[in-house]
């Protein structure tokens, strides 16, 4: 799978770890930055990653920050993006099953790195259930 990834300074360490983790599992990772833990404004990196997913250049995206909130908000400004901020197995699973999330947001300051990697696995492996959820996804998309 081709996956866009981006972070601000507060998510940089996990971004680097997740990139290696995904590459080792055969995924193609496109890094939209940042390239260090020096302070930056996250929209400059998150926006282009979300746009790559929306255009279909990447199948999914992962965005990281300190809390993940601003990154999720930024990604969700892009038409066609359904970014979910996840912090547990259940939130990652439901983000895919119920919401057909195409971008995952993680807060580096909120969960352990091992948990973040585990959530990435769950989120990538979980299929969208469709059914009653499809109508809701269509209603979300109608707002753009």
Active-site amino acid positions: 71, 98
DSSP secondary structure, the chain, as one string:
-EEEEEE-GGGHHHHHHHHHHHHHTT-EEEE----SSS---THHHHHHHHHHHHHTSSSEEEEEESSSHHHHHHHHTSTT--EEE--SHHHHHHHHHTT--SEEEEETTTS-HHHHHHHHHHHHHPPP--THHHHHHHHHHTT-
């Amino acid at each position: 799978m081709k996956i866009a990834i981006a972070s601000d300074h507060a998510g940089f360490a996990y971004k680097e770890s997740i990139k290696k983790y995904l590459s080792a599992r055969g995924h193609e990772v496109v890094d939209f930055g940042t390239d260090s833990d020096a302070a930056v404004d996250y929209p400059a990196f998150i926006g282009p990653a979300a746009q790559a997913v929306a255009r279909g250049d990447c199948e999914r995206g992962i965005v990281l920050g300190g809390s993940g909130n601003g990154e999720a908000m930024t990604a969700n400004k892009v038409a066609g993006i359904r970014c979910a901020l996840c912090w547990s197995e259940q939130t990652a699973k439901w983000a895919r099953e119920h919401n057909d999330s195409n971008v995952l947001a993680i807060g580096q300051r909120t969960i352990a790195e091992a948990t973040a990697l585990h959530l990435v696995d769950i989120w990538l492996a979980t299929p969208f259930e469709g059914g009653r959820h499809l109508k809701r996804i269509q209603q979300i998309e109608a707002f753009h």
